[in-house]
């Protein structure tokens, strides 16, 4: 039965036409099925049309699934994205609360003890002053980590030499792979931003690991 549902969901997403300048006409094509064999296409439809396209709406998983079902890209199966939905899938459990000064102080002490904050951004970013003002205003210690801008000459070579990108990484081959049907990245253009972002996260992790063991914090 699940296989039949999967085929139904794939066919429904295959019928969804892409908008704008895309590499393929449909959201899913037969090549996707070959490259991503074994995928639960009903779950793919659920995530894309219920979650990814509404992520800022703060919906419950149940509400997101209902949207995807109405879009005819999934089915009302019991996916259970969370183990205890009756507890975890309730919006009121994530609503803002009024904390006492004592509770705020305890949480701040815990945060300062266990969390290191790094802000990834390019040195030229106009948003840095605003981020700095916001975090300092909340009393949060942080460190700027310069992002890796692969648009700059020699940036990839330097990132590889510093260990943020594997030495055997072939950018041209990765870019060609990103353009294939199964990757669904045809509308993203160059992957320079994706690679640079990933490399910068390794840079931030190394910053924490470069501290003496007794100064490292478990959450970064």
Low-confidence ranges of the chain (pLDDT < 70): 1-6, 17-29, 32-36, 181-189
Considering just the CA atoms, what is the radius of gyration of the chain in Å?
Answer: 22
3-class SS of residue 24: coil
| Residue carrying the six token digits 């509770």 | 103
Confidence at residue 66, expressed as pLDDT on a 0 to 100 scale: 93
Confidence at residue 51, expressed as pLDDT on a 0 to 100 scale: 87
Confidence at residue 36, expressed as pLDDT on a 0 to 100 scale: 67
Confidence at residue 38, expressed as pLDDT on a 0 to 100 scale: 73
Confidence at residue 1, expressed as pLDDT on a 0 to 100 scale: 45
Residue 144, φ and ψ in degrees, nearest 5: -75, 135
pLDDT digits 0-9 by tens, 151-202:
899 999 999 999 999 999 999 999 888 877 666 665 556 889 889 999 999 9
Confidence at residue 42, expressed as pLDDT on a 0 to 100 scale: 86
The answer to whether the Cα torsion of 170, 32, 41, 53 is positive or negative is positive
Q: Which of 134, 145, 136, 116 is nearest to 204 (CA)?
A: 145
Confidence at residue 116, expressed as pLDDT on a 0 to 100 scale: 95
Give bridge partners of residue 121 from the DSSP assignment: 146
Confidence at residue 160, expressed as pLDDT on a 0 to 100 scale: 95
Query: Tokens at residue 95, please?
Result: 């609503």
Query: Tokens at residue 104, please?
Result: 């705020």
CB count within 10 Å of CB 177 equals 13
Confidence at residue 83, expressed as pLDDT on a 0 to 100 scale: 85
Confidence at residue 3, expressed as pLDDT on a 0 to 100 scale: 46
Confidence at residue 85, expressed as pLDDT on a 0 to 100 scale: 86
């Amino acid at each position: 039965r699940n296989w039949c549902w999967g085929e139904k969901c794939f066919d429904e997403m295959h019928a969804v036409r892409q908008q704008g300048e895309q590499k393929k006409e449909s959201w899913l094509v037969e090549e996707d099925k070959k490259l991503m064999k074994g995928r639960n296409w009903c779950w793919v439809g659920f995530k894309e049309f219920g979650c990814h396209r509404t992520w800022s709406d703060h919906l419950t998983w149940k509400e997101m699934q209902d949207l995807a079902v109405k879009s005819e890209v999934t089915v009302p199966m019991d996916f259970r994205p969370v183990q205890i939905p009756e507890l975890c899938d309730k919006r009121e459990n994530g609503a803002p609360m009024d904390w006492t000064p004592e509770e705020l102080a305890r949480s701040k002490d815990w945060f300062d003890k266990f969390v290191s904050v790094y802000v990834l951004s390019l040195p030229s970013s106009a948003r840095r002053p605003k981020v700095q003002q916001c975090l300092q205003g909340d009393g949060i210690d942080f460190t700027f980590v310069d992002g890796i801008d692969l648009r700059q000459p020699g940036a990839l070579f330097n990132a590889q030499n510093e260990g943020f990108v594997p030495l055997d990484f072939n950018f041209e081959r990765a870019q060609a792979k990103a353009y294939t049907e199964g990757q669904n990245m045809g509308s993203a253009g160059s992957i320079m931003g994706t690679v640079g972002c990933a490399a910068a996260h390794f840079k931030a992790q190394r910053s924490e690991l470069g501290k003496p063991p007794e100064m490292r914090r478990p959450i970064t």
